[in-house]
């Protein structure tokens, strides 16, 4: 079995305070082992004690996990090294041993200085600029031959999440998903955050955007008016969606149907199955959603509200799309890049009724962004948590009920 | 004679949220805050007999009023705090200026060692206790132990509502300890039990701990504490202390009470 090891030192009144015992317990509990290399116990009460301990673990990941847990109790890694960088061997290819990021705040050590990694996101590499002493995450596809990429684990440290300052549902940072959990307090906390962020944004903050990633079930289920209201009232600033949400939203405006079902009476209308295709065709003829709204063809709804409110919309296509609508990005790497560009400044993310967009957005979000995932199917928030977005709070409920209740709590009269 | 550093609440307000008590929406009634602060000063000066040194308040530093976090003072030596949150780091220079102008031998720490003054370092003549994990960094205590040649026992604070040691731990002049055990991890509770003999530990009930009963100022046999803590007062009185309970709820909106508003200088 391969083992990883690191030497830590500990100093202070570590015996009577049980700090040494606490650290040794933590190492064992977390699957590590230790050798006490040296202990000097103070002779008087005022004298401090000193310990040098070799910590071992079956994997480097476990070792790092242990080191992160014992550092707050005063354990200091004996020596700190600069991170090791290697040039990327080709465009779009990392060096073999590249460091793969988490979505937690991360630092790398360059020339004996810890430097923050910019644009934290999971599953990327880290490119460093030694001249300017900067580091940033870089997607595999964007790396260029010769870029200096961090390799191995040395000289990289991940900062655990600080306790959030807010005392609300997001503070627990746990993504237990159950349809039997009450919803109302979660929605109330989301509403409170949105009100605060809107106030901050109106006061000029560039770090207070609310992102909504949504699927077409929002339209089918009857959440369109509520979402439109939230956008018009300035509560939503970034929208991630696909071809379908936009198409059915504008279908509802042009024909009063969503995928051929009349929204007001709830049954299929003759030839309604073609309404969304006719909608897409109409917008393609006009050239863009913006032109369709500004010319008055599309009068109401989510897309019209987005155009009028200046919401940053990214529409990402899939292989099952009809059309697609103008503005839908059909190259998935380009779509990912466009979504990534919209992430800085997001202070709250709502992932509503879309597996694809929820997981894609979750992958892009730093752990520090409070996130709520709403889906009628419990597997979606579960999948999101399983893929590492542990900060996401899961709500198992339908999209329309969520959006209607959220809008009601934010002041919409029903 | 006990000397205390205080700072008038001219600019006290809630302008940010850095502990679970703070809510920007929870507006401070300024008139009431000023009245409560002067009420505390009146009791400290007239009834307790403390001498007060008043710092000049600074616009834009709403928490400068909580002088317990200025640093820690022993004799003529003062160690200035290094605040964890940037919102309070701007106070450091003003506290340092005050210590220097008052003639103290000022010790400053490296910036990476967070230390929030007498908020996190309290004790008896022979042994001190240091609160860590919430605000102060445990690595600061060996350094302070070097500076002051004292034993400092670190205690892990595990409940964010009790974010400084002085919110849940109050050594008394007669050698007793007023404290709220659940604010500490099991190791910390065991250490306190071992260090403090049976009978000297006065346990505050949770309802009164949440009113910051432990954030009390003890001078001689006087204990000044926030109102609404009858069980704590009863325990103190049974040990011969004279209690002075005062309304300080405006400062509770910021997560502070009597002790936070003072710094012992001698």
Tell me the C-alpha distance between A23 and A73, whole Å. Answer: 7
pLDDT at B112: 80
Total residue length of chain B: 266
In angstroms, the CA A402 to CA A194 distance is 14
Total of domains in chain B: 1
Tell me which residues of chain B have a pLDDT lower than 70.
1
pLDDT band at A59, cuts 50/70/90? confident
Query: With bands split at pLDDT 50, 70 and 90, how would you rate the model's confidence at A1?
Result: very low
Strands B105-107 and B77-80: parallel
Which stretch of DSSP H or E encloses residue A312? strand A312-316
- Catalytic residue at B164? yes
Q: Which two tokens stand for residue A333?
A: 């790497």
Q: Could you read off the pLDDT of A216-255 as tens digits, one per residue? A: 999 998 999 999 999 999 999 999 999 999 999 999 999 9
> Residue A2: its pLDDT value, please?
42
Q: Which domain holds residue B251?
A: 3-264
**Distances in whole angstroms, Cα of residue A173 to Cα of each of A195, A348, B111, B117:** 21, 14, 29, 30
pLDDT over 80 (residue A179): no
CA A29 vs. chain centroid, Å, equals: 30
Burial class (CB in 10 A: 0-12, 13-18, 19+), B134: buried
Query: How far A76 CA sits from the closest chain B CA (Å)?
Result: 9
Transcribe B226-247 into DSSP letters.
ESS-HHHHHHHHHTTPEEEEE-
Which listed residue (B7, B170, B214, B260) is catalytic?
B260
A152: left (phi over 0), alpha (psi -120 to 50) or beta: left
Q: Is B260 a catalytic residue?
A: yes
Sign of CA dihedral B129, B133, B137, B138: positive
Predicted ipTM of the assembly: 0.86
Q: How far is B240 from chain A (nearest CA, A)?
A: 30
CA atoms within 13 A on the CB side of A321: 25
* Under 8 Å between Cβ of A31 and A54: no
Over the range B113-126, which residues count as b (16 or more CB within 10 Å of their CB) and which as e? ebbbbbbbbbbeee
The per-residue pLDDT for A259 is: 78
Q: How high is the pLDDT of residue B125?
A: 86
Whether the CB-CB separation of B263 and B70 falls below 8 Å is answered with yes
Strand, helix or coil for residue A309: helix
Average pLDDT, chain A: 90
pLDDT digit string (tens) for A81-110?
Answer: 899 999 999 999 999 999 999 998 898 999
| B17 in contact with A, Cβ within 8 Å | yes
What confidence tier does A160 reach under pLDDT thresholds 50, 70, 90?
A: low
Beta strands A76-77 and A106-110 are unpaired
Q: How far apart are CA A215 and CA A347, in angstroms?
A: 21
Name all domains of chain A by residue range, CATH numbers in brackets.
Answer: 4-77 (3.30.70.2690), 84-158 (2.40.420.10), 169-409 (3.40.50.10690)
- 3-class SS letters over A375-393: ECCCHHHHHHHHCCCCCEE
C-alpha distance from A281 to closest chain B C-alpha (Å) = 50
3-state secondary structure of B96: helix
pLDDT at B176: 97
Burial string for A252-271 (b: 16+ CB within 10 Å, else e) reads: bbbbebbbbbbbeeeeeeee
Instruction: Determine how β-strand B127-132 pairs with β-strand B121-123.
Output: antiparallel
Q: Please give the residue that has the higher pLDDT: either A330 or A259.
A: A330
Q: Which of B19, B139, B145 is the closest to A48 by Cβ?
A: B145
Distance between CA A413 and CA B247 in Å, rounded?
41
* B160 neighbourhood in chain A, CB within 8 Å: 163
| CATH number for position B75 | 3.75.10.10
Between CA A123 and CA A362 the distance in angstroms is 12
Beta strands in chain B (DSSP E): 3-6, 51-54, 71-74, 77-80, 105-107, 121-123, 127-132, 151-156, 169-171, 177-179, 201-203, 217-219, 222-226, 242-246, 263-264
Residues of A in contact with B154 (CB under 8 A): 12-13, 17, 19, 74
How does pLDDT run across B195-229, given as a tens digit for each residue?
999 999 999 999 999 999 999 999 999 999 999 99
What is the pLDDT, as a whole number, of residue A276?
Answer: 93
- Structure confidence at residue A174 (pLDDT): 54
pLDDT at position A387 is 80
Task: Band the pLDDT of A6: cuts 50, 70, 90.
Answer: confident
Task: Pick the residue from chain A with its C-alpha nearest to B136.
Answer: A72
Contact call for residues A302 and A231 (beta carbons, < 8 A) = yes
> Hey, is the C-beta of B141 within 8 angstroms of any chain A C-beta?
yes
């Amino acid at each position: 079995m391969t083992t990883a090891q690191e030497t830590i030192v500990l100093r202070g009144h570590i015996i009577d305070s049980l700090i040494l015992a606490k650290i040794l317990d933590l190492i064992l509990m977390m699957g590590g082992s230790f050798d006490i290399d040296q202990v000097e116990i103070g002779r008087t009460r005022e004298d401090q004690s000193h310990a040098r301990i070799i910590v071992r673990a079956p994997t480097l990941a476990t070792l790092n996990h242990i080191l992160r847990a014992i550092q707050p109790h005063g354990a200091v890694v004996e020596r700190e090294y600069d991170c090791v960088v290697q040039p990327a061997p080709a465009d779009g290819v990392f060096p073999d041993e590249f460091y793969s990021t988490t979505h937690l705040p991360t630092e790398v050590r360059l020339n004996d200085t810890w430097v923050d990694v910019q644009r934290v996101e999971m599953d990327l590499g880290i490119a460093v600029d030694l001249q300017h002493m900067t580091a940033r995450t870089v997607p595999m596809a964007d790396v260029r031959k010769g870029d200096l990429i961090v390799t191995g684990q040395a000289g990289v440290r991940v900062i655990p999440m600080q306790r959030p300052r807010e005392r609300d549902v997001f503070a627990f940072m746990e993504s237990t998903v159950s349809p039997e959990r009450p919803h109302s307090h979660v929605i109330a906390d989301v509403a409170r955050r949105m009100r605060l962020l809107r106030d901050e944004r109106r006061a000029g903050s560039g770090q207070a955007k609310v992102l909504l990633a949504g699927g077409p079930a929002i339209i089918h289920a009857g959440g369109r008016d509520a979402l439109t209201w939230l956008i018009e009232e300035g509560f939503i600033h970034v929208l991630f969606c696909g071809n379908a949400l936009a198409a059915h939203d504008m279908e509802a405006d042009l024909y009063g149907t969503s995928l051929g079902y009349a929204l007001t009476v709830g049954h299929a209308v003759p030839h309604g199955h073609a309404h969304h295709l006719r909608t897409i065709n109409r917008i393609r003829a006009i050239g863009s959603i913006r032109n369709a709204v500004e010319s008055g063809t599309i009068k109401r709804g989510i897309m019209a509200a987005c155009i009028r409110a200046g919401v940053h919309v990214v529409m990402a296509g899939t292989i099952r799309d009809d059309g697609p609508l103008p503005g839908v990005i059909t190259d998935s790497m380009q779509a990912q890049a466009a979504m990534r560009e919209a992430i800085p400044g997001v202070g709250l993310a709502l992932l509503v009724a879309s597996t694809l967009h929820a997981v894609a957005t979750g992958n892009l979000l730093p752990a520090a962004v409070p996130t709520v995932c709403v889906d009628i199917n419990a597997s979606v928030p579960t999948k999101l948590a399983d893929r590492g977005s542990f900060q996401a709070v899961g709500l198992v409920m339908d999209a329309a009920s969520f959006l209607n209740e959220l809008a009601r709590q934010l002041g919409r009269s029903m | 004679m006990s000397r205390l550093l205080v700072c008038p609440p001219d600019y006290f307000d809630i302008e940010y949220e850095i502990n679970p008590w703070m809510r920007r929406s929870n507006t401070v009634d300024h008139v009431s805050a000023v009245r409560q602060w002067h009420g505390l000063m009146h009791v400290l000066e007239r009834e307790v007999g403390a001498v007060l040194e008043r710092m000049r308040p600074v616009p834009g530093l709403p928490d400068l009023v909580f002088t317990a976090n200025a640093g820690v003072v022993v004799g003529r030596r003062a160690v200035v705090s290094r605040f964890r949150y940037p919102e309070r780091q701007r106070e450091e220079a003003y506290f340092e200026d005050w210590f220097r102008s008052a003639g103290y031998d000022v010790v400053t720490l490296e910036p990476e060692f967070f230390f929030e003054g007498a908020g996190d370092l309290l004790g008896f003549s022979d042994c001190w206790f240091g609160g860590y994990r919430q605000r102060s960094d445990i690595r600061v205590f060996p350094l302070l132990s070097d500076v002051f040649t004292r034993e400092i026992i670190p205690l892990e604070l595990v409940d964010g509502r009790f974010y400084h040691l002085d919110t849940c731990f109050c050594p008394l002049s007669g050698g007793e300890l007023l404290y709220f055990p659940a604010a500490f991890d099991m190791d910390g509770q065991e250490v306190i039990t071992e260090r403090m003999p049976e009978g000297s530990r006065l346990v505050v009930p949770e309802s009164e701990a949440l009113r910051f009963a432990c954030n009390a100022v003890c001078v001689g046999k006087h204990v000044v504490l926030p109102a609404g803590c009858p069980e704590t007062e009863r325990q103190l009185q049974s040990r011969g202390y004279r209690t002075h309970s005062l309304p300080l709820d405006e400062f509770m909106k910021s997560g502070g009470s009597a002790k936070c508003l003072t710094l012992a200088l001698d």
